[in-house]
Amino acid sequence: MPRYKLTVEYDGTRYVGWQRQANGHAVQEAIETAFEGFTGAKVTIFGAGRTDAGVHATGQVAHVDLAKDYRTDTVRDALNAYLRDEAVTILSAEVVPDSFDARFSARKRHYLYRIFNRRPPPAILKGQVWWVWTSLDVEAMDRAAKRLLGTHDFNTFRSAHCQAKNPVRTLDRLDVLKGPGDEVHIHASAQSFLHNQIRSFAGSLKLVGEHRWSEDDLVAALRSRDRKRCGPVAPPDGLYLTQVDYGAARAEP
């Protein structure tokens, strides 16, 4: 059975998340339904990251095993035809070895968090960004973000429902930059993240940008390893899975 790697883009606004669930429509379900229409068979796809309800992707990766060989452009175009009423697009399909696993073969995941920083609320970008109307000190946010780099116990910055057994993660990148127009962008990269880790970072860094927290306050929250010390968790609207890198290393559990 040939294995295919899919690169997927989606607007998460209308979905309960990536993973198929009983309580609503999921991105995984939409793609699996498209496969059934295309091939006539039920399949299961496996994603690199289980994005939450409302979270978007410009570079999600998934793999699937099919019963027969298809041209990769045929897989891409046929799926997109069946997905035309969904907010999901297959950007590419490629044949990969059976050893490839979208989740466990991943070496690094890259995320973008978009803050819309102006007094009037967004109209066109509503649901795509986090609207913060108070002025943010982007340079202060970036300096504070650098204090979180490296290997730490990130228990403070994860959901109470996080299922990871180990809260220790290695954060490779956390940059806060002025984006286009009125946007502030937070770029985060690591092999794996805890549940709500980036949204927790964004909410806490917002406090730094408003000068309600100092850099030392952020570090103190980290070192407390206490979720109650985290700033308010940012909404899912501004979060995007942008890229997944692959190689020999396995993801952290």
Rounded distance between C-alpha atoms, residue 229 and residue 239, angstroms: 22
224 touches 190 (CB < 8 A) = no
The Cα 151–Cα 172 span in angstroms is 9
Q: Residue 52 catalytic? A: yes
Q: Which position among 11, 52, 142, 237 bears the catalytic label?
A: 52
Give the separation between CA 230 and CA 236, rounded to whole angstroms.
16
C-beta of residue 78 within 8 angstroms of C-beta of residue 4: no
* DSSP line for 37-85: HHHSS----EES--PBTT-EEEEEEEEEE-SS---HHHHHHHHHHHTTT
Report the C-alpha gap between 204 and 146 in whole angstroms.
13
- Which residues are the active-site residues? 52
